[in-house]
């Protein structure tokens, strides 16, 4: 059986090698690329990323990938910063226009007594609705997070997590999915999510 082809968008993140290794473990043929034709031809597309929204969008604009990503018909998964870039806007760096594939603005997480920012480490997931991407991830499943900005809970939210408030942990709108946590660092839960993305989801 042919291995599904995954275009792993070269967004400059330091986590890309780990994401690629995790995809190989779940049986995907992952190719790191910023070539629009390769991205359009892939069975699935993953937009990883760490760092700031403005820098991430500048890199996508420089590579001519903004409209490519907006026009994809196959499943697209944003991971960490990649998920945040799917939204309309991020408040980071004074305000950044993002891809606009999900409605809402990503905002700074405000520290609370006993809870620090960035939100870093293992935290529990809470399911709001069923989705093929999160099949097998029960309430209370723990995943690994590293972020200082959070995506709002909206009608597109599939799973949430709580840290200085409640934030979207997994989102979906049509053929666009996002995971705020790092699946490549989330052990069994992360591998299950990636397996679901590679084998189970459809546009």
**pLDDT value of residue 14:** 58
CATH code at position 13: 3.40.50.880
pLDDT tens-digit profile, the chain (203 residues): 577 899 999 876 656 777 888 888 888 889 999 999 999 999 999 999 878 899 999 999 999 999 999 999 999 999 999 999 999 999 988 899 999 999 999 999 999 998 998 999 999 999 999 999 999 999 999 999 999 999 999 999 999 999 999 999 999 999 999 999 999 899 999 999 999 999 888 77
Those residues whose C-beta lies under 8 Å from the C-beta of residue 5, and which sit 6 or more positions away, are 28, 29, 31, 41, 42, 43, 44
175: containing domain: 5-199
Q: Shortest CA distance to 146 belongs to which of 8, 11, 13? A: 13
**pLDDT value of residue 4:** 86
**What global pTM score does this model have?**
0.95
Total domain count, the chain = 1
DSSP 71: T
**pLDDT value of residue 201:** 87
- Please answer whether residues 135 and 200 qualify as being in contact, where contact means their C-beta atoms are separated by less than 8 angstroms: yes
**Which residues are catalytically annotated?**
80, 182, 184
As a residue count, the chain comes to 203
- Please answer whether residues 170 and 127 qualify as being in contact, where contact means their C-beta atoms are separated by less than 8 angstroms: no
- Please answer whether residues 28 and 3 qualify as being in contact, where contact means their C-beta atoms are separated by less than 8 angstroms: yes
Q: Shortest CA distance to 156 belongs to which of 146, 147, 167, 168? A: 168
């Amino acid at each position: 059986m042919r291995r599904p082809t995954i275009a792993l968008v070269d967004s400059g993140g330091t986590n890309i090698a780990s994401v690629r290794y995790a995809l190989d473990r779940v049986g995907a043929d992952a190719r790191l690329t910023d070539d629009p034709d390769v991205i359009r031809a892939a069975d699935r597309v993953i937009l990883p990323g760490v760092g700031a929204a403005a820098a991430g969008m500048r890199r996508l604009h420089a590579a001519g990938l903004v409209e490519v990503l907006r026009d994809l018909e196959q499943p697209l998964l944003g991971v960490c910063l990649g998920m945040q870039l799917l939204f309309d806007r991020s408040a980071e760096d004074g305000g950044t226009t993002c891809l606009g594939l999900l409605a809402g603005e990503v905002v700074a997480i405000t520290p609370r007594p006993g809870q620090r920012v960035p939100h870093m480490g293992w935290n529990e997931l809470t399911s709001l609705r069923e989705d093929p991407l999160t099949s097998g991830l029960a309430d209370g499943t723990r995943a690994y997070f590293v972020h200082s900005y959070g995506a709002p809970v909206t009608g597109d939210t599939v799973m949430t997590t709580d840290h200085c408030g409640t934030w979207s942990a997994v989102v979906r709108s049509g053929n666009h999915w996002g995971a705020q946590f790092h699946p490549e660092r989330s052990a069994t839960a992360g591998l299950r999510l990636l397996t679901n993305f590679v084998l189970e989801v459809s546009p």
